[in-house]
Chain A
Amino acid sequence: MNGFFDLPSDLQHSYLGLVGLHLREALLPVLAGLLVSLPIAQLCVRFRWIYPPVLGITTVLYAIPSLAFFVVLIDYFGQSETTVMIPLALYSLVVLVPAIVDGVRSVPPETLAAAQAMGLGPVRRYFQVQLPIAVPAIVAGLRVAAVSSISLVSVGMLIGNQGALGNMLWNAQTYHRPALAVNSVLTIAVLGILVDAALVVVRLLLTPWMPRKGAAR
């Protein structure tokens, strides 16, 4: 019971179980955010006047503190994982929507004209030309969103131990075992960095035509 990775039983999870829970609570919202922001971003590209108000709304949502958000949602979803995940999904929009819009806008008009000349309809043009070219920008947004999301989940501890790895912080204080807090902070930081690195690999795999190691710059 004194090993670094042995956890008190009231956490109801093993170390790896908490890691899995943490990743789920942090990354599902980012995925949901991505699915929501793709159509929103497309609307912003098609109708330019929507973009500023959308940016305004996402910024305002982002300004609402996570703890405040959790508290309001407790009323509707109880002290549950959903309550933690909804704000995280909304926060990811503030990074993802501009990233996608900038990415899609950065497609050169000649490329679009070439796609049209080859007979691609608007749907295929979007999925086969615009989206792939926007991948680096989208992944850059995803990296920021995913890492912030991973570090934010721990606040969920305050609303009935819904903070996955963050729950260890409470134990660290209650049982006077600082090692648990060190473990929690380090694990979360390492998870963030690993997910960041994984997303870089995903980008390299999705964009084989890009120069490696940023040689272009």
Chain B
Amino acid sequence: MNVLNFAHAFFSDGAHWHGYDGIPTRFSEHVQYSLEALLIAAAIGLPVGLLTGHYGRGGNALALVATAGRALPSFGLLVLMFIWLGFGMLPVMIPLVVLAVPPILVTTYEAVRSVDPSPVDAARGMGMPEARVLLQVEVPVALPLILSGLRTAAIQIVSTATIAAYISFGGLGRYIIDGLYQRDYEKVIGGATLVAGLALATLAVFWAVSRLTVSPGVRRSG
């Protein structure tokens, strides 16, 4: 098992645990890029998805936007933005946000649209204004699906944020890119392991969040 040997060698080397190129620094950089991108993508995708889902309109337009977003290659976009905009955070954020918006948008739309209409009608019949119908009835019922959309987006961001290193940023991708150029496979495998670990940790976080926030009644019926 070459891979395991490389990974072990990487993690047991004390030099990899300190300083600006140390695992803690790179790890927190990676988390920071990912969170920023996820927040921006959610700020775009959630409101649009909730509103279109609530009114049940614009599904075709959304599907088109989502396909276009998926079709744009993140890595190509990164290089292109880097050439056009130069060094900065923007060339990293644009591809990550473009990557993350489609899953959030489409799942949120589908989730809200497919909520059982009878409780929604009941809420309206009780005199709830539209905003409360959306926030207090539709969102809680649709929450598991909405969270799954956010989860997909988050995982894609975490895996893709590695390429930020290609245009001289930090993050865990640093190890992979540097390692590839230095022919230092120990470093490459170590970086790859860390990114995969972070992605799995993201899965776990979303699992925990959905345990905490999804109401027990919804969970049982779903």
Contacts and interface: CB of A to CB of B under 8 A. Distances in A.
Interface of A: 59-60, 62-69, 71-72, 75, 143-144, 147-148, 150-155, 157-159, 163, 165-166, 169, 172-173, 178, 181-182, 184-185, 188-193, 196
A181 B76 contact: yes
A62 B68 CA distance: 21
B77 A185 contact: yes
Interface of B: 2-3, 67-68, 70-77, 79-80, 82-84, 155, 158-160, 162-163, 166, 173, 176-177, 179-180, 185, 188-189, 191-193, 195-196, 199-200, 202-203
Contacts of A185: 72-73, 76-77, 80
B203 A60 contact: yes
Given A158-B166, A158-B177, A192-B70, A166 B75 contact: yes
B129 to A, nearest CB: 27
Q: Which of B158, B180, B189, B200: most chain A Cβ within 10 A?
A: B180
A75 B2 contact: yes
A62 to B, nearest CB: 7
> Interface majority SS on A: helix, strand, loop or mixed?
helix
Contact of B75 (A64, A154, A190): A154
A68 B83 contact: no
A66 B79 CA distance: 17
B2 A63 contact: no
Contacts of B202: 63
Contacts of A165: 76
Q: 10 closest Cβ contacts across the A-B interface?
A: A192-B71, A68-B192, A65-B159, A63-B199, A151-B73, A185-B76, A169-B79, A181-B80, A189-B71, A154-B73
B221 to A, nearest CB: 17
Contacts of B2: 75
Given A72-B3, A147-B67, A67 B73 contact: no
A63 B159 contact: yes
Given A67-B192, A71-B176, A71-B189, A62 B155 contact: yes
Contacts of B193: 68
B180 A169 contact: no
Given A71-B176, A71-B192, A185-B76, A63 B70 contact: no
A135 to B, nearest CB: 18
Contacts of B84: 178
Q: Which of B73, B188, B191: most chain A Cβ within 10 A?
A: B73
Contacts of B68: 189, 193
Contacts of B191: 68
A39 B92 CA distance: 40
Given A63-B202, A75-B3, A158-B180, A68 B70 contact: no
Nearest to A181: B80
B83 A173 contact: yes
